Amino acid sequence: MSGHSKWANIKHKKSRQDAKRGKIFTRIAKEITIAAREGGGDPSANPRLRLAIMNARSVNMPSENIQRAIKRGTGEIEGANYEEITYEGFAPFGVAVILEAVTDNKNRTVAEIRSQFSKLGGNLGETNSVAWNFERKGVITIKTNNVTEEEMLEHVLEANAEDMDFDTETTRIICPMENFNICNKYFEEKDFEIVERKLEYIPKTTVKIENINDAKKVIKFIETIEEHDDVQNVFTNFEIDDELMEAIESES
């Protein structure tokens, strides 16, 4: 998964550099609203809300924005009636894609997503057309803080995690869903700066992209889909080796 993980880590750097705060805040606010609607507005009694608030604070989302999103969820103030939808399909070259969206108009969103897939050389699939090739895992992204790969591996084992995507700037810690809270607590107590915590779809097998033009096409597909206002998360199974990824970065 090294190529896939490198792309995941680059995305974290890129989102910081581009400072797409509006998009980030909107995405997290929707998650907070849905969490509060489903489990109530008390984060101590609502694990999903507690996680969403932690992610909001990690990107310095103002407290008033957080409280407003909670109140929309609990019905204290008016807001859109959001619905969660998961789409599956394929990017160019047979790359599998799982897309999580939140929308107040399901028909509009599916039409727009289907159109984008088609224009970018992919196609939207049916339920379980690609989900069988993914596993749901907890992922905690932390600042590496000069820790070596060997040292980080020791932390992974001590935290009851099962894998990592190591990078000198940010490292993704991957764990079984049932160990998510244990892992999160471990890295907090070890004073690592946590960039993001969430559940992801991790691919069981990957599609390796070896041509730079093909790789650019896949990356453009993913980035364009991610920019859609209703899209919360995009998960894929493409793999690009480090040298090719660095060549693409150098051209951007």
| Residues 106 and 169 occupy one common structural domain | yes
| Mean pLDDT (whole number) for 109-125 | 96
Task: Tell me the whole-structure pTM to 2 decimals.
Answer: 0.87
**pLDDT tier for residue 79 given thresholds of 50, 70 and 90:** confident
| Residues 128 and 165 occupy one common structural domain | yes
| Residues 37 and 123 occupy one common structural domain | no
| Mean pLDDT (whole number) for 78-105 | 94
Looking up residue 185, the CATH number of its domain turns out to be 3.30.70.980
Q: Please write the tens of the pLDDT for every residue from 124-143.
A: 999 999 999 999 999 999 99
If one counts the domains in the chain, the total is 2
- Contact predicate 138/155, CB 8 Å: no
Looking up residue 32, the CATH number of its domain turns out to be 1.10.10.200
Place of tokens 């490198």: 6
Q: How far is CA 182 from CA 50, 93, 176, in A?
A: 15, 38, 10
Round to whole Å and give the CA distance between 67 and 73. 10
| Residues 11 and 118 occupy one common structural domain | yes
| Residues 47 and 92 occupy one common structural domain | no
Q: Is the dihedral of CA 73, 78, 81, 84 positive or negative?
A: negative
| Residues 62 and 101 occupy one common structural domain | no
| Mean pLDDT (whole number) for 146-170 | 94
3-state secondary structure of 172: strand
| Residues 120 and 198 occupy one common structural domain | yes
Position 18 scores a pLDDT of 44
Q: Please write the tens of the pLDDT for every residue from 82-91.
A: 999 999 999 9
| Residues 162 and 222 occupy one common structural domain | yes
Which two three-digit tokens encode residue 17? 């550099």
Which two three-digit tokens encode residue 111? 């039409």
pLDDT higher at 142 or 23: 142
Instruction: Indicate the average pLDDT of the chain.
Output: 90
Domain that holds residue 61: 18-74
| Structural domain ending residue among the three candidates 74, 96, 115 | 74
Q: Please write the tens of the pLDDT for every residue from 174-187.
A: 999 999 999 999 99
Round to whole Å and give the CA distance between 78 and 75. 6
